[in-house]
Amino acid sequence: MISKRFARLFAAVITLATPIGAALAGHDEPSVTRQDWSFNGVLGKFDRAQLQRGYQVYSTVCANCHSTRLLSYHNLGQEGGPQFSKEAVEILASKVQVTDGPNEKGEMFQRPARPSDRFPPRFANEQLARLANNGALPPDLSVMAKARPAGPDYIYALLTGYKPAPADMKMTPGMYYNVAFPGHQIAMPPPLMDGVVPYTDGTKKTVDNYARDVSAYLMWAAEPKLEERHQVGVRIMLFLMVFAVIMFLAKRAVWSRMH
């Protein structure tokens, strides 16, 4: 009787924790729908080709304004990520100029990035970033996929959420209407257009694909150990389930001695 009550209490805790978690996640969360990501689920993995395309979208479009300061170029070749080859990582890095120094003359200088370099900041400081972006600050994208409720779903919804503003909505000049953005007015101009990123693997060059690929890429950027976590998790869960059965049988055997 007591254990039943306990089970009920426990169930109540779990069912209540979910809406509380959802409530915690934020209030103004308009029109973000769950997407069917390859990394969802117990054995979910990133889609390598998708991450590679996502990096392409990131580097040709997003990186014009946004930084990803927590990533290094060598991360692009790591297991569980886009897994570009060693040579590809070196080439991708070398396309970017980073500031190094001071040299023996005491001067800072520009050089092509190496795989060990962090992704460089897009703007020298916040003031410059705001100046270049109509007063708005493009946020760093390193952990963006974890820094918003519904993470990658939100990023996808945002990138595909630009619509003409409803007639009754007063828009602030220089702002854009977006169905996914809290408050619906966003300073970022629609960043994606069909065809702007030249995919070479046959994937259709549509806004929808760009948005989906770059959202997956940003999820990897925020959670580079996701695959490892899922893989270790499965093994630990299986072990614990077997262990639990053994413990249950042992418990029953020990207690049956008592009369």
Partner 1 sequence: MAHKSTYVPTSSFGKWIDARLPIPRLVYDQFGVFPMPRNLNYLWTFGGILTFMLAAQIATGIVLAMHYVPTAEGAFDSVEHIMRDVNWGWLLRYSHAVGASLFFLAAFIHTLRGLYYGSYKEPREVLWILGVLILLLMVATAFMGYSLVWGQMSFWAVTVITNLFSSLDSVVPGLGTKLVEWIWGGFSVGGPTLNRLYALHYLLPFVIAGVVVLHIWALHIPGSNNPAGVEVKSSRDVVPFHPYYTIKDGFAMVLFILLFAVLVFYAPNLLGHSDNYIPANPLVTPPHIVPEWYFLPFYAILRAIPSKLFGVIALVASIGILFFVPWLDTSKVRSTAYRPVYRWFFWAFVLTCFALGYLGSQAPEGWYLILGRVFTFYYFAFFLVVMPVLGRIEKLRALPDSIADSMSRGKKRTAKPAKQLEAV
Q: Which chain residues interact with partner 1 by CB under 8 A?
A: 2-3, 6, 9, 12-13, 16-17, 19-21, 23-28, 42, 70, 75, 139, 142-143, 146-149, 151, 222, 224-225, 228-230, 232-234, 236-237, 240-241, 243-244, 247-248, 250-251, 254-255, 258
* Nearer to partner 1 among residue 70 and residue 187 (C-beta): 70
Kindly report the number of other CB atoms within 10 A of residue 149's CB atom. Answer: 16
* Nearer to partner 1 among residue 114 and residue 163 (C-beta): 114
Residue 80 backbone dihedrals phi, psi, to 5 degrees: 85, 0
* Nearer to partner 1 among residue 33 and residue 200 (C-beta): 33
- Alpha-carbon span 24 to 146, nearest angstrom: 14
Would you say how long the chain is, in residues?
A: 259
Q: How far is the CB of 114 from partner 1 (least distance, A)?
A: 17
Structure token pair of residue 114: 């190496």
* Nearer to partner 1 among residue 118 and residue 163 (C-beta): 118
Q: In whole angstroms, what separates CA 154 from the centre of its chain?
A: 10
Q: How far is the CB of 154 from partner 1 (least distance, A)?
A: 9
Give the DSSP letter of residue 162: B
Sequence-ordered list of residues with C-beta below 8 angstroms from that of 181, at least 6 positions apart, any chain: 158, 161
* Nearer to partner 1 among residue 44 and residue 174 (C-beta): 44
Kindly report the number of other CB atoms within 10 A of residue 186's CB atom. Answer: 18
Residue 235 backbone dihedrals phi, psi, to 5 degrees: -65, -45
What H or E segment, with its residue span, contains residue 97?
Answer: strand 97-100
Q: How far is the CB of 182 from partner 1 (least distance, A)?
A: 8
* Nearer to partner 1 among residue 159 and residue 222 (C-beta): 222
What H or E segment, with its residue span, contains residue 57?
Answer: helix 48-60
* Nearer to partner 1 among residue 9 and residue 171 (C-beta): 9
Q: How far is the CB of 13 from partner 1 (least distance, A)?
A: 7
77, 88 in Cβ contact below 8 A? yes
Q: How far is the CB of 39 from partner 1 (least distance, A)?
A: 12
Q: How far is the CB of 62 from partner 1 (least distance, A)?
A: 18
Structure token pair of residue 102: 């001071």
Kindly report the number of other CB atoms within 10 A of residue 218's CB atom. Answer: 27
What H or E segment, with its residue span, contains residue 177?
Answer: strand 176-177
Q: How far is the CB of 45 from partner 1 (least distance, A)?
A: 14
